Amino acid sequence: MAAPVAPAQPRTGARAAIPGRTLRTDRWWVSPAISGGVLAAFAVYATWAAFQNSDYFARPYISPLYSPCIASICERARSGAVHGIHVPSIGIFGPWWGISPAILILIFPLGFRITCYYYRKTYYRSFWLSPPACAVAEPHKRYTGETRFPLILQNIHRYFFYAAALFAALNTYDAVVSFRNTRDQWGHMGLGTLVLCANAVMLSLYTVSCHSCRHIIGGRLKHFSKHPIRFKAWGVVSKLNKHHMELAWVSLVVVALADLYVRLVASGTIHDPRFF
Ligand code: FES
């Protein structure tokens, strides 16, 4: 049944005088409640995982939360095998300080997600209640949008996109390397290989479907006819961009599951099934 239509209000410049927070009769709170719950669950898990500083490497798999492998502890775990981007161990993130490398690494992928246009909408609705849903009054007296500090910093998103593109490439590299066996020879495939491949694909699709990516490829052009390749790429990115919300959620869940899988294998809790 269609929701009742609010009676027309005189144009006084003030907000419409309605008796409650909203005239909506549907369950408008379900969507922000679920979105906020999933986001909070991910934040809790990622924070816990980032501070573990252990069980993130089980040759040939590395957790996406700890990739690229930059810690001395990971270097030792390799037992001499080359894995991931072979950044020389810089040692300071190992046992000396006890700082987890994930805390440094996650600045970039998490910064990308936190400033993402879609996640902004989600946490503004679910946590800041600004507004909690369309046609539902918010508790705040004033609205300044993203024109002031600190929210004006959300504009940094386009720069996080460049870092995120690099991390998508690193995760893809990790997925390719997971086809090596424990003796560093090609021709291995376990369940972990599929998990890392799924993570690389979803992360890449989420990154490419970004609004900033679409603007970088097709923005600031006066004539698409003079840039046929960019026009074609813009068309592809635009199609993905329509599914940005779905890609944001799926890639978020998959990256957490990929970390959990590597963690369980590395800790010896489960055995990685091998297909060949
Ligand atoms: S808008 Fe969501 S990642 Fe850029």
Calpha distance 142→180 (Å, rounded): 57
Q: Distance between CA 236 and CA 29 in Å, rounded?
A: 34
Cα–Cα distance, 85 to 190 (Å, whole number): 21
The residue with tokens 């386009």 is 158
Residue nearest to atom 4 of ligand 1 (CA): 210
pLDDT value at residue 69 = 83
Tens-place pLDDT, residues 236-266 = 999 999 999 999 999 999 999 999 999 999 9
Q: Which residues, other chains included, contact 81 with Cβ-Cβ below 8 Å and sequence gap of 6+?
A: 59, 60, 182, 183, 184
pLDDT, residue 233, reads 97
pLDDT of residue 18: 74
Return the pLDDT at 39.
97
Ligand 1 centroid to Cα of residue 186, in Å, is: 35
Closest CA to 208 of 167, 259, 174: 167
Burial category of 138 from C-beta neighbours within 10 Å (exposed 0-12, middle 13-18, buried 19 and up): middle
Say how far apart CA 124 and CA 136 lie, in whole Å: 13
CA 102 to chain centre: 15
- Ligand 1 lined by 116 (C-beta under 6 Å): yes
Per-residue pLDDT at 96: 46
Residue 186, classed as helix, strand or coil, is: strand
Q: Which helix (H) or strand (E) holds 62?
A: strand 61-62
The alpha carbon torsion through 77, 103, 216, 252 (nearest 10 deg) reads 80
Q: What is the pLDDT of residues 10-29, one digit of tens each?
A: 555 566 677 788 889 999 99
User: Ligand 1: distance of its center to the CA of 127 in Å?
Assistant: 19
> Which atom of ligand 1 is nearest to 116's Cα?
2
pLDDT (0 to 100) of residue 87: 41
Give the tokens for residue 273: 């099934």
pLDDT score for 98: 63
* 3-class secondary-structure state, position 191: helix
- How many A from CA of 189 to the centre of ligand 1? 32
Could you tell me the CA-to-CA distances from 161 to 47, 112, 213, 214 in Å, in that order?
A: 22, 6, 7, 11
What is residue 70's predicted lDDT score, i.e. its pLDDT? 79
Question: What per-residue confidence (pLDDT) applies to 182?
Answer: 81
**Residue 90 main-chain phi, psi, to 5 deg:** -100, 0
Residue 142 pLDDT = 86
User: What residue segments make up the domains of the chain, in order of their start?
Assistant: 30-266
Closest atom of ligand 1 to CA, residue 210: 4
Pairing of strands 61-62, 57-58: antiparallel
What single DSSP character describes residue 134? T
Name the 3-class secondary structure at 136: coil
Instruction: Among 123, 203, 209, say which to mutate for ligand 1: greatest number of ligand atoms within 8 Å of CB.
Output: 209
State which residues of the chain have pLDDT below 50.
Answer: 1-2, 78-96
Three-state DSSP at 112 gives: helix
What's the start-to-end Cα distance of the chain, in Å?
55
Question: Which pLDDT score is estimated for 99?
Answer: 78
